């Protein structure tokens, strides 16, 4: 056995603060048994970009669904059994040959949890929040999303109750793929709008 197995790493200051608040709230009967484990399990295994990918793949194969998705995103997403906090007012914005959409939240980190899961760290950090509204074309290029000059860029700052999902165009040469195969092609970044497929 190694030394570290006998002496686990000491808690960092932030871990000590979490433990302090958790202990005090537990003493006051405010932490139900298993609550933290349940939150962890949900976000690690049930809620994530695989849900958004199902929505996108369905829109690619079913024109009627795509129409409903664009008319009422929340209702169409609910057809696939997907919904919940930060997903009650969904608007779907479609990327085309001439228009590229991208989502941001400059004031905090609003993000469509039911379809994309929890936001990645870079989405929540200052550089992305500060720059995407100021220099979107330059920042997208820096992140590897190079757009022709004549493509219009539409940035959506999620500053009120609506949460956005970007609908990327179906890649060429995928005509013979099944819906499940198509869903596997859809990346989280393409649904935020910082990448193309």
Partner 1 sequence: MDGIHDLGGMQGFGAVDHSSAEPAFQHRWEAGARALLELVAGAVQASGGEFRHSIERMAPGHYLTSSYYEHWLTAAATLAVEHGLVTQSDLETRAGGRFPLSDRVLAPPVEDAGPDVGTPRFAVGDRVRVRDWHPAGHTRCPRYVRGKAGTVVRVDGTYSVPDIEAHSTARRHEPTYSVRFEAAELWGDDQHGAWVHVDLWDSYLEPS
- Whether 145 sits among the annotated catalytic residues: the reply is no
Instruction: Output 62 or 130, the one with its CB closest to partner 1.
Output: 130
Instruction: Output 4 or 12, the one with its CB closest to partner 1.
Output: 12
End-to-end CA distance of the chain: 48
Among the listed residues 4, 45, 108, 145, the single catalytic one is 108
Question: Smallest gap, in angstroms, from Cβ of residue 77 to partner 1?
Answer: 16
Among the listed residues 4, 12, 45, 110, the single catalytic one is 110
Question: Smallest gap, in angstroms, from Cβ of residue 142 to partner 1?
Answer: 7
Instruction: Output 61 or 162, the one with its CB closest to partner 1.
Output: 162
Question: Smallest gap, in angstroms, from Cβ of residue 40 to partner 1?
Answer: 4
> What DSSP assignment string belongs to 50-103?
HHHHHHHHHHHH-HHHHHHHHH-HHHHHHTTT---TT-SSEEEEE--SSEEEEE
Q: Which residues are CB-contacts of 118 (< 8 A; sequence separation ≥ 6)?
A: 43, 47, 111
- Whether 45 sits among the annotated catalytic residues: the reply is no
- Whether 105 sits among the annotated catalytic residues: the reply is yes
Among the listed residues 45, 109, 145, 159, the single catalytic one is 109
Going by C-alpha positions, the residue among 195, 116, 99, 196 that lies closest to residue 158 is 116
Distance CA 182, CA 176 (A): 10
- Whether 158 sits among the annotated catalytic residues: the reply is no
Phi-psi region of 125 (alpha: psi -120 to 50; beta: other; left: phi over 0): beta
Among the listed residues 4, 12, 105, 176, the single catalytic one is 105
Instruction: Output 54 or 188, the one with its CB closest to partner 1.
Output: 188
Q: Which residues are the active-site residues?
A: 105, 108-110
């Amino acid at each position: 056995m190694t030394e570290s197995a006998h002496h686990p790493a000491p808690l960092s200051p932030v871990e000590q603060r979490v433990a302090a608040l958790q202990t005090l709230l537990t003493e006051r009967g405010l932490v139900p048994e298993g609550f933290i484990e349940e939150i962890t399990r949900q976000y690690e295994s049930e809620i994530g970009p695989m849900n958004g990918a199902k929505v996108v793949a369905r829109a690619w194969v079913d024109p009627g669904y795509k129409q409903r998705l664009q008319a009422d995103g929340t209702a169409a997403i609910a057809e696939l059994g997907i919904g919940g906090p930060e997903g009650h007012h969904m608007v779907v914005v479609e990327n085309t040959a001439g228009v590229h959409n991208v989502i941001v939240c400059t004031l905090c980190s609003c993000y469509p949890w039911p379809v994309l899961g929890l936001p990645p760290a870079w989405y929540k950090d200052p550089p992305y929040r500060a720059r995407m509204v100021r220099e979107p074309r330059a920042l997208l290029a820096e992140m590897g999303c190079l757009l022709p000059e004549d493509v219009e860029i539409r940035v959506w700052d999620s500053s009120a109750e609506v949460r956005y999902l970007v609908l990327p165009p179906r890649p060429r040469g995928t005509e013979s793929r099944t819906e499940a195969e198509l869903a596997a092609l859809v990346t989280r970044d393409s649904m935020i709008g910082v990448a193309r497929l």
